[in-house]
Amino acid sequence: MAHGPAKGVTRWLFTTNHKDIGTLYLWFSFAMFILGGFFAMVIRAELFEPGMQLVRPEFFNQMTTMHGLVMVFGAIMPSFVGLANWMIPMMIGAPDMALPRMNNLSFWILPPAFLMLASTLFMEAGAPNFGWTFYAPLSTTYAPETVNYFIFAVHIMGASSIMGSINIVATVLNMRAPGMTMMKMPLFVWTWLITAFLLIAVMPVLAGAVTMMLMDINFGTAFFEAAGGGDPVLFQHIFWFFGHPEVYIIILPAFGVISEIIPTFSRKPLFGYASMVYATSAIAFLSFIVWAHHMFLVGMPVSGELYFMYATMLIAVPTGVKVFNWVSTMFRGAISYETPMLFAIAFVILFTLGGFTGLMLAIAPSDIQYHDTYFVVAHFHYVMVAGAVFSMSAAVYYWLPKWTGRMYNEAMGKLHFWISFIGFNITFFPQHFLGLGGMPRRYADYALQFADWNMVSSIGAFIYGASQILFLYNVIATIVAGKKVSEPKTWDGANGLEWSLPTPPPYHTFTTPPDASVIEENSTVAH
């Protein structure tokens, strides 16, 4: 166990090392980010002008579906699992993840699953075309036959997530160095612990939902068939019972990342550490009891609408606590604006905007106006892209020097940030106007009055898309030829056990747990 990595490709195929597996996850998710981004470019190119120019409407539907599926399940979720793999053992002073071989398995079943999903694009029946939320009966009665591949791909992704999460929970609960108590854990570890719990709780429900679809399609059951006494609305309830916690699964690790970065560059400990932990737990709890706010228009009783409306608005309270704490951490700090910090600040501002539009959507009577319009698209891209993806970019810039022992190009990083920031807002801010104006989502064509803002949005999307090439270039250039750095702390204000290790860290770290004094010295929690 003392020796370094194996030579050649077997290092990656057979590895049990948390850093290797983290790297695999990160690269895989970036590949999926590019693929899903390519689908998005097709969508925006078609919507550049009214009328049908580039693709057929059927193919457009496949693009919106695959874009959503690939980005959610292939890009964002695995990227944070990769981060968890790299960082959690180093942050809690553990020798590796608790179950290293299962860790390898939970990564390596992802490529076959996405290969299978993507291969449907080349099949005669075409790829799934029913939207990433795959509502029945679109995904059952009216689905292309490739829906069967989609169903089994989701099963595999679910198995991967559950195994990955079990591993993270076991690691956090069982592998902490002596002296690393729960309330001394860095917030990233806390948010991932809670995320892993959410994943274990809801991925099986998603597996159940796709199994019901499978049975309805192939074996004549009646879960979603009113003729047999079933109900398509049942699908929506089950899907969103998974789907709402899912959005917190995506955003909670991002909260964790931001809670590491803001204190570092504000040179102050995180404000209100304990309240952050409680707020995260409260968000996780609330996420289980608000799902039907996605379904205000399916014909629920008024009492149901009211309940889900008020319960949803409650989430603003713990989320507000978080935003308050981030801002208070920066307040009177000695702030410097390196690339990770720029992304983190943009995260706080843009995520808050996305949160506010979320509040607007939570109000049932108003949602009747916004439902299934581009306003919703704008809302969730503010939390998914400016939330999850921005925080992921921030995380890569923040920890890349630690991982590789090489410094990225700061000027290029800042350029990437500003182009991303501007491109993102040009893309998605006008979509609020489009939605309020009544443009429905998932349509390949639109009425003439939406032409101007659609063109603006498409131009923004091309800018944002192009800026990611800069990101990829910067990362590769850093790994290959970046300026070498060797001091343990890349950032002078950084805290946490990972910064007590050499840069780059040896293949195996903390084979013996760190001393209590080291834990104390590097603690991210204010004394």
Partner 1 sequence: MSAEASYYVPEQSKMPILMAAAMGLAAFGAGRWMITGDSLMCILGVVAIATMMYFWFTTVIDENLRGLPSAQLKRSYVWGISWFIFSEVMFFAGFFGALFYLRNIAMPWLGGDGVGVHNPELLWNGFEAEWPLLHTPDQALNGENAKFVGAHESLSYPGLSGLLHWLPLYNTVILLFSSYTVHLAHHALKHGDNRKKFNFWLGFTVVLGLIFLCLQVMEYREAYGHYGITLTSGIYGTTFFMLTGFHGFHVAMGTLMLAIQLLRSFKGQFTADDHFGFEMSSWYWHFVDVVWVMLFFFVYII
Return the number of the residue (290 or 384) whose C-beta is nearest partner 1.
290
Q: Is there a catalytic annotation at residue 237?
A: no
246 catalytic? Reply is yes
Shortest Cβ distance from residue 213 to partner 1 (Å)?
Answer: 11
Q: With 0-12 CB in 10 A as exposed, 13-18 as middle and 19+ as buried, what is 55?
A: middle
Helices and strands per DSSP (H, E), number in the chain: 19, 2
Residue 140: CB minimum distance to partner 1, A: 13
What's the closest the beta carbon of residue 66 comes to partner 1, in angstroms?
A: 16
Contact 158/150 with Cβ under 8 angstroms? no
Q: What is the 3-state secondary structure (H, E, C) of 320-360?
A: HHHHHHHHHHHCCCCCCCCHHHHHHHHHHHHHHHHHHHHHH
**Least distance in angstroms from the C-beta of 458 to partner 1:** 35
Q: Is 160 part of the annotated catalytic residue set? A: yes
Active site residue 508: no
Looking at the Cβ atoms of 151 and 378, the one nearer to partner 1 is 151
Closest CA to 427 of 403, 467, 459, 402: 459
Cα–Cα distance, 4 to 417 (Å, whole number): 35
319: annotated active-site residue:
yes
- Spot the catalytic one: 244, 371, 379, 381: 244
Within 8 A by CB and 6+ apart from 244, the residues are 287, 288, 290, 291, 293, 294
The position carrying tokens 């609330």 is: 286
Residue placing its CB nearer to partner 1 in the complex, 105 or 360 = 105
Catalytic entry in 246, 305, 338, 367: 246
Rounded least distance, CB 54 to partner 1, Å: 29
Q: Is 184 a catalytic residue?
A: no
Cα–Cα distance, 24 to 498 (Å, whole number): 20
Return the number of the residue (179 or 437) whose C-beta is nearest partner 1: 179
**Integer Rg of the chain from CA:** 23
Of the candidates 146, 319, 393, 509, the residue annotated as catalytic is 319
Q: Which candidate in 96, 216, 260, 338 is catalytic?
A: 96
- 139 classed as catalytic: no
- Catalytic annotation on 322? yes
Among residues 44, 67, 379, 402, the one annotated as catalytic is 67
State how far the Cα of 322 lies from the Cα of 248, in Å rounded to an integer: 14
Tell the smallest beta-carbon distance from residue 222 to partner 1 (Å). 5
Catalytic residue flag (residue 416): no
Catalytic residue list contains 512: no
Q: Which is nearer to partner 1, 152 or 462 (CB)?
A: 152
Q: Which is nearer to partner 1, 202 or 252 (CB)?
A: 202
Cβ neighbours of residue 193 under 8 Å, at least 6 residues apart? 168, 169, 172, 173, 185
Given a contact cutoff of 8 angstroms between Cβ atoms, the answer to whether 82 and 23 are in contact is yes
Tell me, yes or no, if 120 is annotated catalytic.
no
Nearest distance, CB of residue 209 and partner 1, angstroms = 7
The residues, any chain, with a CB within 8 Å of residue 108's CB and separated by 6 or more, are: 13
> Closer to partner 1 at the Cβ: 217 or 475?
217
Q: Is 441 a catalytic residue?
A: yes
Q: Which residues are catalytic?
A: 67, 96, 132, 160-161, 244, 246, 248, 259, 293-294, 319, 322, 441
